Amino acid sequence: MTDPIRLSKRLAELLPCSRREAELYIEGGWVLVDGQVIEEPQFKVADQRIELLPGATPAPIEPATLLLHKPAGLDEAAALALLAINSRADDDSSGIRPVKRHFRHLSAPLPLDTDASGLLVFSQHRGVLRKLSEDADRLEQEFIVEVSGQIAENGLARLNHGLSYRGVALAPCKVSWQSENRLRFALKAPRSGQIRHMCESVGLQVLGQKRIRIGRLAMAKLPSGIWRFLGVHERF
């Protein structure tokens, strides 16, 4: 029996290729050990069957951005736990092959309230994280809010401009009726609890709120609990 060695070393001997190229093949999800994909270069092998999948390329894994339709009632940690290969959207057209590294070291720079649903962005990409953090005050976010109750006189005008939150006057925003019990909010840098407070200030109770757009990026028909990759040409 062969003494166990690192998968990267064995693959480099078999191909042959450099150790670094072997690591990239493995991390890219291109290597099978006895028919199972192994993505850890340090995985120890002995006499197992090692195969390289067709089309394999030794390319570095680029930082990823994942767009999740967060269900209401989940905090950020619970939402993060939804991100797995088997919960990816069937119609994801990004062309990105999901690997384990895409689900590590993810940050959500524009959080959602626990009771809200909708578009939640998780990213490893420094440029995306910087854009969503540094430009948060300029990026318009769109919410659909289900409400009940009777709106106060001039309530819609006050929602657009004239309310304060936690002692600070709110910047003007765009609020309009979508139906008898549904409001559309388009505003920048909303704070936790702000939309609920705004609605209650004019006599409305919030039954649910969903973020459907951040900047130019809309959630579209992404099902609840499902995610997809941000495409190469998509921008916030």
Neighbours of 141 (CB within 10 A): 22
Q: What mean pLDDT do residues 198-207 have?
A: 98
User: pTM, whole model, 2 decimals?
Assistant: 0.91
Residues 6+ apart with CB under 8 A from 123: 63, 64, 65, 66, 106, 107, 108, 109, 129, 132, 230
Q: Whole-angstrom Cα distance, residue 138 to residue 44? A: 50
Across all residues in the chain, what is the average pLDDT?
96
Regarding the domain delimited by 140-214, which CATH topology (the fold level of the hierarchy) does it fall under? Alpha-Beta Plaits (3.30.70)
pLDDT given at position 213: 98
Tokens of 85: 């290969």
pLDDT digits (tens, 9 = 90+) for 67-116: 999 999 999 999 999 999 999 999 999 999 999 999 999 999 999 999 99
Regarding the domain delimited by 65-136+217-229, which CATH topology (the fold level of the hierarchy) does it fall under? Alpha-Beta Plaits (3.30.70)
| Residue 2: pLDDT over 80 | no
Kindly give the residue spans of alpha helices, DSSP state H, lying in the chain: 7-14, 19-27, 76-80, 126-134, 155-160, 194-201
Closest CA to 145 of 190, 98, 83: 190
Q: What mean pLDDT do residues 192-206 have?
A: 98
Residue extents of the structural domains in the chain: 5-52, 65-136+217-229, 140-214
Superfamily of domain 5-52: RNA-binding S4 domain (3.10.290.10)
Q: What mean pLDDT do residues 194-209 have?
A: 98
Percentage of residues of the chain with pLDDT beyond 70 = 100
Partnered with residue 165 across adjacent β-strands are 168
pLDDT digits (tens, 9 = 90+) for 135-160: 999 999 999 999 999 999 999 999 99
pLDDT given at position 3: 82
Work out the angle at residue 204's Cα, subtended by the Cα atoms of residues 198 and 208, and round it to the nearest 5 degrees. Answer: 80
Q: What mean pLDDT do residues 218-226 have?
A: 96
pLDDT given at position 1: 60
Paired sense of beta strands 117-123 and 205-214, if any: parallel
Q: What mean pLDDT do residues 156-182 have?
A: 96
pLDDT digits (tens, 9 = 90+) for 10-36: 999 999 999 999 999 999 999 999 999
Helix and strand tally (H, E) in the chain?
Answer: 6, 15
Give the containing element (helix H, strand E) for 13: helix 7-14
Residues 6+ apart with CB under 8 A from 164: 170
Tokens of 211: 């973020």
| Residue 221: pLDDT over 90 | yes
Fold match between domain 5-52 and domain 140-214: no
Give the CA radius of gyration of the chain.
23
Residues 6+ apart with CB under 8 A from 101: 27, 39, 61
